[in-house]
Amino acid sequence: MDKPTTEPAGELRRTVRRGYLADRWQRKDGTRTPLWGKGDRYTVRVWNTLDDRPLNQSFPDGRKTAARQFLEDFRSGVWERDERARRASQQAARDRDRVPVLNAYAAEWLTRQHDTKGSTLENYSRHLAHRIGPPLGSLRLDQITRARVDAWLSAMLQPVPEDAPHRPPPPAPGEMPRPCARSTARVALSILGTILNAAADDGLIQSNPTRRVRLSPAVEDVPRAVLTPAQVRALIDNAPDWLRPFVVLIAATGMRQQEAAGLTAGQVRLGLAPHVIVDRQLVSYNAQDGHALGSTKTGRSRRVPLPADAAAVLAAAVEGLPPESLVFTTPAGVPLMRYRTVKLWNTLAAAAGVPVVRYRGWHELRHAYASHQIAAGVPVNAVAAALGHSVEVCLRTYGHLIPDTDNRLRTVAEGLISGRLALENTP
């Protein structure tokens, strides 16, 4: 029996693997001890444990070989290696238990977005309910892998069926999201990535599996069609009386749909230079609490001039209204929320003979306003200011409509290379 006379201490105990095997039933001279036949027969006692304290391991009668093997494994480092692996596995299991599923974490994450607009939070919630939550929401955050993200994106990027409803119900839990526009998939990916970035910051996952996923914007081979003045007039003429001022306003100002829906009487300024102040939009409505207004998409206000005909239409629409009253509601007095105006547009476009393009709706009038202003030679910065766009976005979207651009480029280039280019104010 290899038993040390004194117990190793400190670093010696950690570095020197020692121990002994004791027979509790029989002494070295072959005589029986008072413990004969009671409990396990063999005890292995070692000192150099990972916890730096003695460890006893008992073995029953007939398992002396197993006891010797345990002592040998301890001395050779096998026991320490296996024990470290076992503890790491247990720690990983505990870590997994504290990692929440995506749905639970996303709900808590939404409550932390204190500086986010209400309309943006509603957009986040809509994407979580319709596109992110059903396929991924029941997974723990550490179970969301790059492969799962790729499969999820592939499902959204499938061609959208022609007969698909505009607002389909959310998929059942576990189902992949329904096909959608590429721009919609990009937004969903951005929201998921933001949530997983927060989870990584909270120490719940090691890295964000979406961090290297790139989804480029859709590239249209053919420039987007623009409503003609005749089509815009047909939309105005076919609109019911209560909706006609709404159509006129968007066509005459290029306002976003919910900006127009959130217009109040006090924002309409009539007089020698009629204009509207765009500094809010309609973000929500329910019968109990009424409607709620929020800041514009960019968070900035702007002033948009009104042509005389549109000013006359709006003057009649705001007559008698208090300054904070919405200008546009249904005949029943209900504000024009987005889900309601989608059906209105489809009905109106069909009556006016205007093709209905999926996902565009009232934005067609905004696009027509910008396109015809640019084509008429209005400076890009002025159009961008009216739209609430940056000049960069305006140029990227409508730059191809700037009149006679190619010929002007050719003329200046020819003068440059021929030496006949005349520059004003040249010294």
When mean pLDDT is compared across 90-99, 273-282, 400-409, the lowest value belongs to: 400-409
Separation of alpha carbons 359 and 224, rounded Å: 13
Q: Which of 46-55, 255-264, 331-340 has the highest mean pLDDT?
A: 255-264
**Predicted pLDDT of residue 16:** 40
Q: Are residues 279 and 354 in the same domain?
A: yes
Separation of alpha carbons 247 and 240, rounded Å: 10
Q: What percent of the chain has pLDDT over 70?
A: 87
Band of the pLDDT at 341, cuts 50, 70, 90?
confident
For the record, the structure tokens of 122 come out as 């509603």
- What is the tens place of the pLDDT at every residue in 391-403? 888 887 777 676 6
Q: Which of 232, 206, 225 is closest to 96 using CA atoms?
A: 206
Domain tally, the chain: 3
What integer is the mean pLDDT of 186-204? 94
- What is the tens place of the pLDDT at every residue in 12-70? 444 345 788 999 999 989 999 999 999 999 999 887 667 777 888 999 999 999 999 99
| 233 has pLDDT over 60 | yes
Separation of alpha carbons 167 and 249, rounded Å: 26
**Predicted pLDDT of residue 426:** 43
Q: Are residues 113 and 190 in the same domain?
A: yes
Band of the pLDDT at 1, cuts 50, 70, 90?
very low
Q: Which of 411, 415, 410, 381 is closest to 398 using CA atoms?
A: 381
Separation of alpha carbons 96 and 113, rounded Å: 26
Structural domain boundaries, residue 142: 102-201
Q: What are phi and psi of 311, to 5 degrees?
A: -65, -40
Does 206 reside within a domain?
Answer: no
**Predicted pLDDT of residue 53:** 77
Q: Are residues 155 and 29 in the same domain?
A: no
Q: C-alpha 248: how far from its chain's center? A: 34
> Do 195 and 141 touch, CB atoms closer than 8 A?
no
Bridge partner list, 302:
278
Q: Are residues 193 and 241 in the same domain?
A: no
Band of the pLDDT at 293, cuts 50, 70, 90?
confident
Does 142 reside within a domain?
Answer: yes
43: exposed, middle or buried (Cβ count in 10 Å: 0-12, 13-18, 19+): middle
Q: What are phi and psi of 378, to 5 degrees?
A: -65, 135
pTM, to two decimals: 0.61
Separation of alpha carbons 283 and 324, rounded Å: 15
Q: Are residues 106 and 183 in the same domain?
A: yes
| 153 has pLDDT over 60 | yes
Q: Are residues 370 and 271 in the same domain?
A: yes
Band of the pLDDT at 324, cuts 50, 70, 90?
very high
- What is the tens place of the pLDDT at every residue in 95-117? 767 889 999 999 999 999 988 87
When mean pLDDT is compared across 218-222, 264-268, 381-385, the lowest value belongs to: 218-222
Q: What is the DSSP letter of 366?
A: H
Q: Are residues 60 and 123 in the same domain?
A: no
Q: Are residues 335 and 368 in the same domain?
A: yes
Q: Are residues 89 and 122 in the same domain?
A: no
CA angle 187, 370, 214 (to 5 degrees): 20
**Predicted pLDDT of residue 425:** 43
Q: Are residues 286 and 363 in the same domain?
A: yes
